[in-house]
Amino acid sequence: MDTSHLNNLSASKTSARRFTRSRNGCWTCKRRRRKCDEKRPVCTQCAEKNLECAGYDQRLVWGVGIASRGYNAGAQKPRIEYRTCEMMSPGSLSQAQSSSDDAFPNTSITSNSPKELDEDASSLLRKFKESGYLTLCPMRFEGEENPILEEILPLADDSSSLMAGILAYQSCLSPNREDKFEKYYADALRLFRQDINCPLGRVSIATLSAGILLCSIGMNCRMPWTMHIHGLYAILSSENMFHEPTPSVTDIIETVAVFDIPVFVVGRQTPPLYMWRNHCTSNMDPSEELELLTGLPYSLLSIFSYMSDSSAEKMLWGWSGCAGELVQYHLWDAFRYAGIISARELQAQMYAHSPDTQPSPLTPGAASISVDILALRILACIDAVRRAIQTDAPGRLLVERSYLYPLFIAGSQAKSLPEQQPYIEQCFHELANTGPDPYYETPLIVLKELWAGKGSAEEIVRRWNWELALL
């Protein structure tokens, strides 16, 4: 793959529950992510919870033109279902909850009236407006400049699916609401499915934002979440939104594309779609050089989207940078060094499967820098970022919670640098104090298992059926 154009890109939660996945159980247990004893006709879980057991029948997800040969051959348009416990197939729309909505009775909001909130839902919405929204974007903004408050939140006044997503997201952050989270999450899934099945017009920005919130909920609750990326991608494709997108749609595409970049997810259970390299690199606006979710320049982020390419490390060493505050340079260098480690690991994996694969030649100086030295450089950059944050240096709001990925990558090498492990733990604890705890605690749990010799990070995360986001 020719990636030479990248070199010329513009330079100008409180506690979370561990869910057990049911693979062969009834559809109600699969949707609720509970272990099913497969007792027939009604399983024990459903009987004890007084739920309707949806049975064990096989269900097809394509409504018309069922394939006779090959993947989805003959299919005309997918029927959108939403089975939260199942991984989505590439190119299909969101898969569904089971057909019975009665398994989660007494929902808090109705499909046609998002303003009719009960006391508990109103409290959650108020907390989201006060502080919850800040956890959705590592780059902090002052007051009304935050795009979540200014652009997304007002849409919830007319969108039940977005309002349900906000309530579900805030409930997963709020203490003492574990008993109600499941209900809010079921609301969000049901109303999102209802929106995207609506025959009355195009899918709205509010609905797409609701889908992004479902991804964010999964990241915070240690649940698989990348299947929602496939659902959002299918919606964007079916609505032809990649062609001449509006500014609002461009923001949605970029957010989903960042979620999709492979190196930012550990233990991913769905194949990557490579959205950033296919849909974002050619539409960059030189006047807006920073991507808001990561705090990275578009040109650097584009290199990350090509991380599996044999020239990735060479591109990272040769990245020319762009204008920014001093503290941002430290953050970007931390990402570069972490990316180089990731690129080397990916190349080693590819070489193991295909001995003929060779990376692009590096200069002698770059090739001689060991992974341990790169990890120490990452930690030095992170230390500079932390000091800048503590002293209110210019640009600190742009980097305050943006170094999770390089910190995790440095931590993954700390088994050979045990003297750095306490410092890495300290950094994670600081991050946990600025955002939803599970989001930052989970990577540290994985690293401690890795340091104890219990497998690679990928093996550990997959063993626990998590998908770990490093954004």
Of the candidates 126, 108, 133, 130, the residue with the CA atom closest to the CA atom of residue 118: 108
User: According to DSSP H, which parts of 135-204 are helical?
Assistant: 147, 160-173, 178-196
What's the mean per-residue pLDDT of the chain?
Answer: 78
- How far apart CA 252 and CA 263 sit, in angstroms, is 20
Of the candidates 375, 399, 372, the residue with the CA atom closest to the CA atom of residue 387: 399
Q: What is the pLDDT of residue 140?
A: 56
- How far apart CA 7 and CA 22 sit, in angstroms, is 46
Asked whether residue 452 carries a pLDDT value surpassing 70, the answer given is yes
Which residue would you say has higher pLDDT here, 146 or 261? 261
Cα 68–227–176 angle (5° rounding)? Answer: 140
SS3 breakdown of the chain: % helix, strand, coil, rounded to 5? 55, 0, 45
Asked whether residue 84 carries a pLDDT value surpassing 70, the answer given is no
Instruction: Name the pLDDT band for 185 (thresholds 50, 70, 90).
Output: very high
Best-predicted range by mean pLDDT among 15-19, 21-25, 81-85? Answer: 21-25
Asked whether residue 229 carries a pLDDT value surpassing 80, the answer given is yes
Q: What is the pLDDT of residue 167?
A: 95
Among the listed ranges 139-148, 269-278, 368-377, which one has the minimum average pLDDT value? 139-148
- How far apart CA 32 and CA 83 sit, in angstroms, is 10
Of the candidates 22, 12, 73, the residue with the CA atom closest to the CA atom of residue 320: 12
- How far apart CA 456 and CA 411 sit, in angstroms, is 12
Asked whether residue 433 carries a pLDDT value surpassing 70, the answer given is yes
| Mean pLDDT (whole number) for 98-110 | 39
Best-predicted range by mean pLDDT among 93-107, 358-372, 420-434? Answer: 420-434
| Mean pLDDT (whole number) for 430-457 | 88
Q: pLDDT of 191-206, one tens digit each?
A: 998 888 776 656 789 9
Which residue would you say has higher pLDDT here, 109 or 226? 226
| Mean pLDDT (whole number) for 246-251 | 86
Asked whether residue 214 carries a pLDDT value surpassing 50, the answer given is yes
Q: What is the pLDDT of residue 358?
A: 63
Task: State the angle between helix axes of 178-196 and 160-173 in degrees (0 to 180), rounded to the nearest 10.
Answer: 160
How does DSSP assign 100-130, residue by residue?
-GGGS-S-SSBTTBTT---HHHHHHHHHHHH
Q: What is the pLDDT of residue 81?
A: 35
Of the candidates 135, 169, 138, the residue with the CA atom closest to the CA atom of residue 292: 138
Cα 188–119–127 angle (5° rounding)? Answer: 70
Q: What is the pLDDT of residue 44?
A: 87
User: According to DSSP H, which parts of 221-319 are helical?
Assistant: 227-238, 247-260, 275-279, 298-304, 312-318
Whole-prediction pTM: 0.75
Q: Domain residue spans in the chain?
A: 222-469
- How far apart CA 368 and CA 257 sit, in angstroms, is 33
Q: Measuring CA to CA, how many Å separate 194 from each of 86, 207, 441? A: 18, 10, 34
| Mean pLDDT (whole number) for 106-115 | 49
